[in-house]
Amino acid sequence: MHASAPGPDGRFTEVADRTWVARHAWLDVNVTLVEGDRGLLLVDTLGSERAARGMLDEVRRVTTRDVVAVVNTHEHFDHTFGNGAVLARWPGVPVHAHEEAAARTVDSGRTAQEQYAGQDDGTDEHRDQHRDEHRDEVLATEPVPATVTFSSVAVVDLGDRVVELVHPGRGHTAGDVVVRVPDADVLLAGDLVEESAPPSYGPDSYPLDWPAALDFVADLLTPDTVVVPGHGALVDKAFVADQRGDVGMVAEAIFDAASRSVPVEQAAREGEWPFPERTVLEALRRGYDQVPRAARRLPLV
């Protein structure tokens, strides 16, 4: 890969033509900036208004253009809680998201805030962080959903270049979006792909659908595509193929264990899994609910 790698310092690094990625230490989340002659597209907005204000100051270090559009790759707070701060600085700019993500942003955000407030029910993907130093700024943030939604595909016209927004199917959430910058061969994968942690199988995930979504994404990639995961370092098509293999293995194992009515804990213990036990248990619990009833039968005795 020829791209320079952003460090986890929140600084925007140009990874391809007029495409900058800032990797943030807090939750190791990425924010991406794409510039055209109409202005800037900002993809994902961090986990609080305060964090977003700092990030917007960093935008000024790389370009003087204004933000003209925002995309949320999905509804989770660490990708949407800066929406309000962006709109405060650039009133009225369209904030794009999949219709499912936009519809869930406020509820999902309130759930995250409850967890940060200490009322953790133990199901959140980021539960270890709920008492961290960012607690106050998360609680002080007003969740603001996207203002422009779509169901399959959309385009953001930046003047001399276009950016494609694609819903490849359900996976990490019901409303995952990948963002493609075709002329720069860059793809922003949201949390359908994670580099620095296992894929996050939260209570709003679709473990059985996830492999097909990644198949769709893989078809958008070339061997040279710079892939920006939702969290962690830049990756490539080979990494996405590996992660597709892992989530595919998990989906098959869920289907197999659920159809034999093996209890979740037993399935987690007995299987060969590509991810740590906590991730596997979350995937199994969520996946079992999604196996069609007709595919289940009583255990053989």
Nearer to Zn ion among residue 50 and residue 76 (C-beta): 76
Q: Which is nearer to Zn ion, 40 or 70 (CB)?
A: 70
If the CB atoms of residues 120 and 185 are measured against Zn ion, the closer one turns out to be 120
Work out how close the CB of 115 gets to Zn ion at its nearest, in angstroms, rounded to a whole number: 13
Tell the smallest beta-carbon distance from residue 200 to Zn ion (Å).
6
Distances (CA, A) of 53 to 39, 40, 120: 18, 16, 27
Which of 58, 64, 17 has the alpha carbon at shortest distance from 182?
17
| Least Å from the CB of residue 239 to Zn ion | 18
Distance CA 218, CA 234 (A): 15
Least distance (Å) from Zn ion to the CB of residue 270?
Answer: 29
Nearest to Zn ion of 76, 104 (CB atom): 76
Are 194 and 200 in contact by the 8 Å Cβ rule? The answer is yes
Secondary structure element (H or E) that encloses residue 244, with its range? helix 237-259
Helix (H) or strand (E) holding 228: strand 226-231
Here's the x/- map for Zn ion, 75-114, by CB under 5 A: it reads as -x--------------------------------------
H or E stretch covering 69: strand 67-71
Nearer to Zn ion, 18 or 96 (CB): 96
The reply to whether 191 sits near Zn ion by the rule CB under 5 A is yes
Site for Zn ion in 216-255 (CB under 5 A): none
Q: Give the largest CA-CA distance in the chain.
A: 70
Q: Quote the least distance from Cβ 44 to Zn ion, whole Å.
A: 10
Question: Per-residue x/- mask for Zn ion, residues 38 to 77, rule CB under 5 A?
Answer: --------------------------------------x-
Tokens of 222: 């070339």
Least distance to Zn ion from the beta carbon of 74, Å? Answer: 6
**At 270, which amino acid appears?**
E
Q: How many residues sit close enough to Zn ion to count as binding (CB under 5 A)?
A: 2
Q: What is the DSSP string of 190-219?
A: EEEEESSS-----TT--TTTHHHHHHHHHT
Residues in contact with Zn ion by CB under 5 A are: 76, 191
